[in-house]
Structure 1
Amino acid sequence: MKPSTLAACGLAAVLAFSSGVASAKGCIKGAAVGAVAGHYAGHHAVLGAVGGCFAGRHIAKTKAAEQKAAQQRAGQGDAAHAGTLQTAAPAH
């Protein structure tokens, strides 16, 4: 194995395992797609996997932040209407 390939694999492994479980999902998906793209773009699967890992982590973090913001907005909307409880008129 080439020294540069070994170094890239080591770097990708360190980044994948040091970032925790939450962003590992994005890294793994991105690395798989990047490896395939890199392979077809000139036998650079390892470089594609490393780049895909970074891109996948970025996309996963962005998506998580958007979901958290949406949950906070939904929670604030419920709290804003909590004081406006309306009672139904009695049925005759």
Structure 2
Amino acid sequence: MRKMIAGAVLAVGLAGFAGAAEAKGCIKGAIVGGIAGHAAGHGIAGAAAGCAIGRHQANKRQRAQDTTVQPATR
């Protein structure tokens, strides 16, 4: 339990140093990944993987939104 809390505190602390665009999706992913990893016995690894997956998903949503919002240039 202490490792999960330490991982969450570390993730939140590191997110404070990252830019807003870089941290998008990381906090939510780290929390979910930390909980899932804790259930499997690997809380820190789960938090790190959750952060990476959360950032990937946020970037993918942002790219999709950017391509659908652009007006036609005619």
Q: Specify the TM-score bucket, using the shorter chain as the normaliser.
A: 0.7 to 0.9
- Number of residues of Structure 1 aligned to a counterpart in Structure 2: 68
**Alignment correspondent of 1:65:** 63
Q: Which protein is richer in helix relative to its size? A: 2
Letter of the 1:39 counterpart: H
Return 5+ residue gaps in structure 2 as ranges.
Answer: none
Higher normalized contact order (CA 8 Å, seq sep 6+, divided by chain length): 2
Q: Which has the larger radius of gyration?
A: 1
C-alpha distance in 2 between matches for 1:46 and 1:26? 17
TM-score in terms of structure 1 length: 0.60
**Alignment correspondent of 2:54:** 56
C-alpha distance in 1 between matches for 2:65 and 2:52? 20
**Stretches of 4+ moved more than 4 A in 1?**
none
C-alpha distance in 2 between matches for 1:23 and 1:59? 12
**Alignment correspondent of 1:25:** 24
Return 5+ residue gaps in structure 1 as ranges.
Answer: 81-92
Alpha-carbon distance, 1:25 to partner: 2.7
Alpha-carbon distance, 1:23 to partner: 3.1
Identity of aligned residues (%): 45
RMSD: 2.3
**Alignment correspondent of 2:38:** 39
TM-score in terms of structure 2 length: 0.73
